């Protein structure tokens, strides 16, 4: 397809294949099953990630930012809901039936989950629902989860016959920031690993021992903030670099920094770092880059996609950006120069004050940030676990604001030419469009290709109500999964067909979500999808179980109109709000038979 762009209309309608992955399972289910419905902020989960074990497709692992172990708001000052110092936030969940049911193990570590007031909180060793072994290593797991399964190493190298290894990358901070620092800098990237998810899922001492000690990946100075990482394991046995593991992230120094990729060739014990881009912070253009995605094809070529942010060309218009790609053909030893692929438009039309800065929002005044909505999310049909039958087709999905406020899209593009410039389909909108004010306004999106390239799925969060200019009018957020078929032979080989909806979750009001400082909503930055040879699964941010709090709405309105918080008394959530205020969950869908 190099140099030729095919419209989706070439294929009049998607052919629904007679395989389990092309039909929707009934309903959806909660993934963050350990989450209580109250109090805030223990009931707050967001930014889900998902991984499928190519060696055993029914095994799934998910992660999220999980506040389950934080103190309640009314511990001490009832109007504050802090991130309790030293308490981890990297939630972990397992499924062994393809996503039909989930479990969240309980380990031991530093906890504040029993700090329910009125006494001020004193964290202590106890039960946690997040990654183990961080407190014991002088660390705090800080979320931004990224998960991947790969083959386990053995005496003769990597092989699926050795079993599988789960890698969980996350942000981490020092437990004691002012003394005995474990690492220099504000945030670092650490990776946890387990070769035995079944035992890890049991929790307790045995489950904790099933996890290896966390390993630092990033290298930094005292001024460095590593952020927005993603991890991938080369999981196709046909690859020359089968078993390699790659982590990409932005190494922020002040407001900018280079994009970095780390490579492990020994199962995550050690890491080799490469800067793959220069630091960008030029006024007017090139003022930042982030939102990376890393994947491999059946030959072991490594692809790292990211968004470069650029200032808007016109006052009042949303900021434009560009999706870029760097590749490695030698297992991460060297990298190509960045290649610009196509322009994207961040769906950022209004700023909302979050207590420290103005942030892009989409659903309305005091809405949830959407800083990375237009960043790339990529899947490659690499034929895992063997590599046989791989098409190496690449698909990308993201939310885009090029058609203006209340006309945001979920855009989709694909390449059958190795991802190089000129090989990509012109981005096409694939969200469900309804009549009147009820339509899907894309918020975050993620695709998944089946290993041999016959099916494409995209999961997305969307607002179904227009931008709200007050905090008193109902808003609506929903999770959706769509599917398209892809011919793998004949004249239409590799051409993605039309998308059709296979699942729509239960909508909820995102005003129930909240930053811990209460100033605006919070839903995180990601959704995620995976696909195997027999089924697909997806996870998204969900607010169906939460309740709006009129007292919070009124206070947020006062903040947004530049009045001080003293003009409208700051509410105490556990006194002035419904019990389920702040309750946000991770929900998932599966087509597993």
Position 281 scores a pLDDT of 55
pLDDT surpasses 70 at 1: no
Query: What is each CA distance from 262 to 102, 230, 328, 332, 502, in whole angstroms?
Result: 31, 10, 12, 8, 37
Contact assessment for residue 190 and residue 216, using Cβ atoms and an 8 Å cutoff? yes
Contact assessment for residue 487 and residue 494, using Cβ atoms and an 8 Å cutoff? yes
**Average pLDDT for 143-158:** 97
Confidence of residue 394 (pLDDT cuts 50, 70, 90): very high
| Residue owning tokens 């059709």 | 500
Long-range contacts of 307-311 (CB under 8 A, 24+ apart): 307/344, 307/372, 307/374, 307/375, 307/376, 308/280, 309/346, 310/285, 310/286, 311/283, 311/284, 311/285, 311/287
* Angstrom distance (rounded) from CA 349 to CA 362: 7
Position 112 scores a pLDDT of 98
Provide the whole-model pTM.
Answer: 0.94
What are the tens digits of pLDDT across the range 98-132?
Answer: 999 999 999 999 999 999 999 999 999 999 999 99
Position 235 scores a pLDDT of 98
* Angstrom distance (rounded) from CA 384 to CA 232: 13
Using alpha carbons, select from 48, 43, 98, 34 the residue that is nearest to residue 67: 43
**Average pLDDT for 377-398:** 98
Query: Residue by residue, what is the 3-state secondary structure of 240-302?
Result: CCCCCEEEEEEEEECCECCEEEEEECCCCCCCEEEECCCCCCCCCCCCEEEEEEEEECCCCCE
Contact assessment for residue 455 and residue 536, using Cβ atoms and an 8 Å cutoff? yes
Position 279 scores a pLDDT of 73
Locate 182 and state its tokens: 């474990």
The burial of 77, by beta-carbon neighbours within 10 Å (0-12 exposed, 13-18 middle, 19 or more buried), is given as: middle
Opening angle at CA 538, ends 533 and 542, nearest 5: 170
Position 242 scores a pLDDT of 98
Contact assessment for residue 542 and residue 503, using Cβ atoms and an 8 Å cutoff? no
* Angstrom distance (rounded) from CA 251 to CA 246: 15
Using alpha carbons, select from 167, 326, 138 the residue that is nearest to residue 231: 167
Position 437 scores a pLDDT of 57
Locate 560 and state its tokens: 């947004």
Radius of gyration of the chain (CA): 22
Contacts of 435 (CB under 8 A, 6+ apart): none
Round the average pLDDT of the chain to a whole number and report it.
90
Contact assessment for residue 295 and residue 310, using Cβ atoms and an 8 Å cutoff? no
Confidence of residue 315 (pLDDT cuts 50, 70, 90): low
Position 285 scores a pLDDT of 58
pLDDT greater at residue 10 or residue 147: 147
Contacts of 317 (CB under 8 A, 6+ apart): none
Contact assessment for residue 111 and residue 42, using Cβ atoms and an 8 Å cutoff? no
DSSP secondary structure string for all residues of 420-433? -TT-BPPPEE-S--
Position 35 scores a pLDDT of 94
Position 207 scores a pLDDT of 98
For residue 550, what is the enclosing H or E element?
Answer: helix 550-560
What are the tens digits of pLDDT across the range 27-70?
Answer: 899 999 999 999 999 999 999 999 999 999 999 999 999 999 99
**Average pLDDT for 450-467:** 97
Lowest mean pLDDT among 131-145, 232-246, 303-317, 501-515: 303-317
**Average pLDDT for 389-407:** 96
* Angstrom distance (rounded) from CA 279 to CA 288: 8
Contact assessment for residue 324 and residue 335, using Cβ atoms and an 8 Å cutoff? no
pLDDT surpasses 60 at 11: no
pLDDT surpasses 50 at 12: no
Position 435 scores a pLDDT of 57
Confidence of residue 352 (pLDDT cuts 50, 70, 90): confident
For the chain, percent of residues with pLDDT exceeding 70: 90
pLDDT surpasses 80 at 521: yes
Position 353 scores a pLDDT of 78
* Angstrom distance (rounded) from CA 158 to CA 195: 13
What are the tens digits of pLDDT across the range 159-203?
Answer: 999 999 999 999 999 998 665 678 988 889 999 999 999 999 999
pLDDT surpasses 60 at 326: yes
* Angstrom distance (rounded) from CA 178 to CA 190: 20
Phi/psi-derived region of residue 373, left when phi > 0, alpha when psi is between -120 and 50, beta in every other case:
alpha
The burial of 52, by beta-carbon neighbours within 10 Å (0-12 exposed, 13-18 middle, 19 or more buried), is given as: buried
Position 177 scores a pLDDT of 67
How would you classify the pairing of strands 90-95 and 60-66?
antiparallel
């Amino acid at each position: 397809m190099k140099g030729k762009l095919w419209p989706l209309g070439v294929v009049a309608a998607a052919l629904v294949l007679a395989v389990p992955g092309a039909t929707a399972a009934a309903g959806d289910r909660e993934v963050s099953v350990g989450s209580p419905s109250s109090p805030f902020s223990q009931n707050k989960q967001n930014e889900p990630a998902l991984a499928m074990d190519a060696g055993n497709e029914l095994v799934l692992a998910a992660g999220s930012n999980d506040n389950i172990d934080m103190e309640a708001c009314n511990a001490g000052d009832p109007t504050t809901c802090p991130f309790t110092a030293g308490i981890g936030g990297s939630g972990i969940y397992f499924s062994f039936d393809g996503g039909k049911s989930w479990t969240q193990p309980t380990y031991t570590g530093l906890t504040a989950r029993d700090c329910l007031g009125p006494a001020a909180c004193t964290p202590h060793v106890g039960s946690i629902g997040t990654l183990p072994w961080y407190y014991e290593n002088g660390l705090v797991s800080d979320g931004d989860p990224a998960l991947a399964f790969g083959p386990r190493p053995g005496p003769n190298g990597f092989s699926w016959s050795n079993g599988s290894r789960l890698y969980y990358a996350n942000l981490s901070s020092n437990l004691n920031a002012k003394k005995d620092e474990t690492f220099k800098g504000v945030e670092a990237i650490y990776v946890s690993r387990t070769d035995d998810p079944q035992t890890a899922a049991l929790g307790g001492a045995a489950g904790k021992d099933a996890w290896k000690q966390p390993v630092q990946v990033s290298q930094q100075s005292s001024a460095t903030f590593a952020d927005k990482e993603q991890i991938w394991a080369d999981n196709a046995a046909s690859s020359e670099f089968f078993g390699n593991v790659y982590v990409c992230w932005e190494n922020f120094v002040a407001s900018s920094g280079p994009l970095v990729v780390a490579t492990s060739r020994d199962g995550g014990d050690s890491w080799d770092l490469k800067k793959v881009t220069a630091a960008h912070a030029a006024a007017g253009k090139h003022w930042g880059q982030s939102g990376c995605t890393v994947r491999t094809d059946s030959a072991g070529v490594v692809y790292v996609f990211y968004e470069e942010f650029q200032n808007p060309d016109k006052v009042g218009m949303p900021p434009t950006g560009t999706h870029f790609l760097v590749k490695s053909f030698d297992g991460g030893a060297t990298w190509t120069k960045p290649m610009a692929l196509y322009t994207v438009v961040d769906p950022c039309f209004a700023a909302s004050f979050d207590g420290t800065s103005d942030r892009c929002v989409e659903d309305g005044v005091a809405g949830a940030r959407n800083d990375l909505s237009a960043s790339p999310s990529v899947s490659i049909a690499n034929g895992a676990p063997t590599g046989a039958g791989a098409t190496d087709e690449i698909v990308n999905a993201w939310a885009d604001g090029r058609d203006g406020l209340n006309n945001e899209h979920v855009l989709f593009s694909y390449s059958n030419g190795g991802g190089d410039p000129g090989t990509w389909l012109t981005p096409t909108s694939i969200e469900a469009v309804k009549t009147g004010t009820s339509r899907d306004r894309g918020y975050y999106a993620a695709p998944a290709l089946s290993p041999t390239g016959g099916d494409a799925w995209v999961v997305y969060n969307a607002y179904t109500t227009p931008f709200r200019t007050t905090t008193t009018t109902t808003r609506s957020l929903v999770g959706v999964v769509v599917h398209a078929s892809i011919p793998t032979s004949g004249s239409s080989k590799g051409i993605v067909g039309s998308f059709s909806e296979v699942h729509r979750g239960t909508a909820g009001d995102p005003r129930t979500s909240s930053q811990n400082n209460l100033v605006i909503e919070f839903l995180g930055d990601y959704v995620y999808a995976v696909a195997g040879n027999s089924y697909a699964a997806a996870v998204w941010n969900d607010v169906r179980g939460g309740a709006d709090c009129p007292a919070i709405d009124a206070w947020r309105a006062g903040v947004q109109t530049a009045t001080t918080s003293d003009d409208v008394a700051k509410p105490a959530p556990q006194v002035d709000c419904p019990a389920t205020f702040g309750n946000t969950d991770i929900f998932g869908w599966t087509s597993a038979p």
